[in-house]
A and B are shown apart, each in its own frame.
Chain A
Amino acid sequence: MDRSTRRLILPASFAALVLALVLLAPVLPLQDVRGMDIPNRFSGPSAAHWLGQDGFGRDVLARLIWGGRASLFIAVGSALLAAIAGTALGLLGGYFRGVVELVTVRAVEIILCLPPLLLALLVVAILGAGTWPLILALTILYTPNYTRVVYAATQQVRGLDFVTAQRAMGTHPLKILLRTILPNVLPPLLVQMSLVVASAMVIESGLSFLGLGVVPPTPSWGLMIREARGAMEVAPLLLVWPSLALAGTILTFNLLCDRLQSALDPRAVTAGGALWLRPRSRAAKRPAPPVPAAPDAPLLDIADLSIAARDLELVRRVTLTVRPGETVALVGESGSGKTLTGLAMTGLLPDTLRLTGGSALYTLRDGTRIDLASLDEDAMRRLRGDEIAMVFQDAAASLNPVLRIGDQVAEAITAHADLSGEALTARVVALLRQVGIPDPERRLRAYPHELSGGQRQRAMIAVAIAGNPRLLIADEPTTALDPTIQAQILALFAQLRRDTPGMGMIFVTHDLAVVAEIADRVTVMYAGEIVEEGPVADVFAQPRHPYTAALIASVPESGAARLTAIPGAVPSPRAMPSGCRFAPRCAHAAPDCRDHAPRAARPAPNRITRCLRWEEVT
């Protein structure tokens, strides 16, 4: 039994207890609810009257249970009636659509244009107070709830293959509705049911409290509270008991609804919060203090970095070096771990993932080195934007839709620099101009959705370079764009390299053509591992790993006589081959490849390959 089912037990058994109590009321040894005992009015709890006696000397406990019977009868009764009416209308409207939809679903929705209590009052005004007018009022009131839920569910189910198949076979619509669709819409109905019972009780008790609902001397919780109010100064407890019973029962049904919902539809529950908001959660590791760096130290030196989701290793022992002014391309198929490696450098990994080993030594502006892998959220935050910046893949989703572009760029500047007023605006305009946004003075007042895809990506780049970062990580910045726009954005990156000669760049991409254009060195990743690394020209001229060779052969621009696709797919992290991870797809795989995980070999001083047979096959 999983957690969401276990959480159902408490409210479900409470609801069962309440229902059992009121159902068993006639056979329980209770006092007569109408038996008055004026001399003993307002007397406190005693052996004969556990909860004391009310203003007429009647037994409070008996009235409480019988009152619950009246309240629940009305609430459950109208919830059932509304369920029947609403389900029928929703099924018809959702299945037939067109005119039927108009006279069922849309017509019923008019009821939702009236405040609920008002509608109930209106019905009571016309029919007079009493149990049955109340049930009618509540039934009318809650029919649209069911209609909507069933309508939505029916529309979903209706499009599914098995319903289409039945229709094609000529099954009578009524039979399809009852046999096929109804069972499928039951779960949301169940949730709605408990919700309606709870809110029907609120309205019923409210009307009874006003004297427009259940008619005395029939006991009801609303009526009991009404009577107790008059005697508040004499016997305040008389107010407390029915209040507790009423609120408790409604709470029970509300909780039941909430938990049914999460038990029936786990997806509806949003993932819990964000770790970066919890100051202590990341401080487990003690950050290593900065140490002075050698004068020729690389900008970033990643060694044996691993990333895992719980017990699942997604990135294994990645080693990567970026020198000032150098652009390193990180290439691989989806799921190779290239994006995760990039995110890890800014501490922006999703909450479910964490670093499990290795180091990432970064040389700061002041010449000291710091291990990025050891930093907590706060230390990492101070580097972000200022030292290390990131350009994300999907600019449309990565820019805040309700803030103006200019404000989003300005924010990236002020996060690390003390600038304001006109100086700030001037800087924003300059940045937007630098990234090639036309008419920047006007465009800074635009919202992201008012820009084209290419301009959004330019704005995204402006945000990234606003703090003059020394390491720029670009995560597939051209993937979501049209080919012509891709070329423009690539040209922009090339321009950026010329303008800021000291800035290092990690360019994450799956596109080898892009690599040839922009990068100095290329690192090829496969299934969470680095399989090959070297200067771009050398790697393209003579790949030292079968995977790289296959990648190059599969790119139209490579000039190969015939394009060859790589067979198979990247293995899932749950089923990693024990030997070479590429072996199952490799044309040159030998028995040895499947048994032994190859170590990184150095075909040349500046090259790395993770292949056992690189000398023979490349």
Chain B
Amino acid sequence: MLRYIAFRTLVALFLVWIVVTIVFLLLHLIPGDPAELLLSSGNVAADPQAVAALRERMGLNAPLWQQYLDHMAGVLSGDLGASFRDGAPVIEQIALRLPRTLEVIVAASLIATGIGVPLGTYAAIRADGRADAAISLFASAALSTPVFVVGSVVILIFAQELRWLPAGGFVPFSEDPLEHLKLLLLPACTVALSLLAVITRMSRASVLEVLQRDYVRTARAKGLPVRAVLRRHVVRNALIPVLTVLGLEMGTLIGGTVLVEFVFNWPGLSGYLVSAVDARDYPEVVGIVMTISVLFVLLNLVVDVLNAALDPRISLVR
């Protein structure tokens, strides 16, 4: 088990290094001078002297390999540079906004798992019946509707027509817990919908597969009530691949809540990224992309290790 974790960690670290390098190279090898870009506004050319000064300050005159080493050293010491726009350390903004994004993802995951697993299990139990067809169609539709469409329609219905919940915004939890949760509810549900579809489908397929296993027959041969067979032997075993998928989906979401945050005006990490991209603020873009990639890789690592813990066979097989 420990060897397995160590091996997976090494692979994860290697991937993080690759991603950091690629992002660095991408941003430094593209044509166009960031300093010039930053100082020029509209069609007015920048003052060459100012550009030269800024290049010096940004360390853009050093050879690429030295810039790369400086960059890596910075990354290792937790320094992601300062924003072009306001000079504030990028890491501070990330530390402020990342928890908000994670909050939405965790809330959505809880909602989606809480509803998706029972729904998928029920569809599997009633496989090929009417309920199954309805659930499958719902899942396909939910999966096919982009989040910003869901978000916009949800706002239209719940905020504008029914006026039950605010349309968007953010209040820190410490200031007004109730308002905070109210504001969280719509974005979380929006993210949860597509996640719910994935989990429902996966649960259904997984339960159907487990139902064919010999150990389910053994459980029935013991004379256990149907509920006990389902709970202890079917759903429990079927959950393992579902959790894997949930973990992978959460990883994708860390960078994928951009649209939801935009729609609901939620000041998370992804919204920060969009504005950084818009302003071509490279230190910000690099910092955020790196943070998200590292989290993504780490989450995959956690999922793998968790899988090994849940299924005692895995560590032996590999």
Contact = CB atoms under 8 A, between A and B. Distances in A.
B219 interface: yes
Nearest to A412: B222
Interface stretch (A93-101, A376-384, A531-539, A549-557): A376-384
B15 A110 contact: yes
Per DSSP, are chain B's interface residues mostly helix, strand or loop, or mixed? helix
B90 to A, nearest CB: 15
Interface in B7-62: 15, 18-19, 22-23, 26-27, 30
A408 B26 CA distance: 56
Contact-residue size bin, chain B (C-beta under 8 Å from the other chain): 35 or more
B292 interface: yes
A372 B105 CA distance: 53
Contact of B146 (A206, A236, A255, A383): A206
Contacts of B161: 236
Interface residues of A, number: 77
A115 interface: yes
A384 B233 contact: no
Nearest to A254: B144
A312 interface: no
B259 A273 contact: no
A122 B23 contact: yes
B314 to A, nearest CB: 10
A218 interface: no
Contacts of B215: 397-401
A608 B148 CA distance: 76
Given A125-B285, A232-B160, A394-B214, A118 B255 contact: yes
A247 interface: yes
Contacts of A255: 140
Interface in A192-242: 198, 202, 205-206, 209-210, 212, 222, 225, 228-229, 232-233, 236, 239-240
B149 A385 contact: no
B221 interface: yes
Given A225-B148, A251-B140, A402-B237, A232 B156 contact: yes
A254 B143 contact: yes
Contacts of B88: none
A385 B160 contact: no
Most central of B149, B208, B237 by chain A CB within 10 Å: B149
Given A126-B30, A348-B217, A411 B224 contact: yes
Contact of A110 (B18, B141, B219): B18
Contacts of B293: 113-115, 118
A305 to B, nearest CB: 19
Contact of B297 (A113, A246, A348): A113
B167 to A, nearest CB: 9
A466 B219 CA distance: 13
Contacts of A403: 232-233, 236
B313 interface: yes
B172 interface: no
B313 A449 contact: yes
A251 B141 contact: yes
B155 interface: yes
B13 to A, nearest CB: 12
A122 B218 contact: no
B8 to A, nearest CB: 14
A318 interface: no
Contacts of B310: 402
Contacts of A346: 221
A276 interface: yes
B66 interface: no
A279 B127 CA distance: 14
The winner among B152, B236, B280, B311 for most chain A CB atoms within 10 A is B152
B146 A385 contact: no
A386 B223 CA distance: 7
Contacts of A450: 312
Given A110-B15, A121-B274, A397 B205 contact: no
A540 interface: no
B284 to A, nearest CB: 10
B146 A276 contact: no
A247 B141 contact: yes
A273 B156 contact: no
Interface in B241-288: 251-256, 258-259, 262-263, 273-274, 276-278, 280, 285
19 contacts: A125-B285, A198-B144, A206-B259, A209-B148, A212-B274, A232-B152, A236-B161, A251-B141, A251-B145, A254-B140, A270-B209, A348-B217, A397-B213, A400-B233, A403-B232, A403-B236, A412-B222, A416-B223, A466-B222
Given A277-B126, A392-B218, 20 more contacts: A118-B255, A206-B146, A206-B148, A210-B259, A229-B155, A246-B146, A247-B141, A247-B144, A248-B144, A250-B144, A272-B128, A273-B126, A273-B132, A348-B217, A384-B223, A398-B217, A402-B310, A411-B222, A415-B228, A449-B313
Interface of B: 15, 18-19, 22-23, 26-27, 30, 124-128, 132, 140-141, 143-149, 152-153, 155-156, 160-161, 205, 208-209, 211-215, 217-226, 228, 230, 232-233, 236-237, 240, 251-256, 258-259, 262-263, 273-274, 276-278, 280, 285, 289, 292-293, 296-297, 310-313, 316
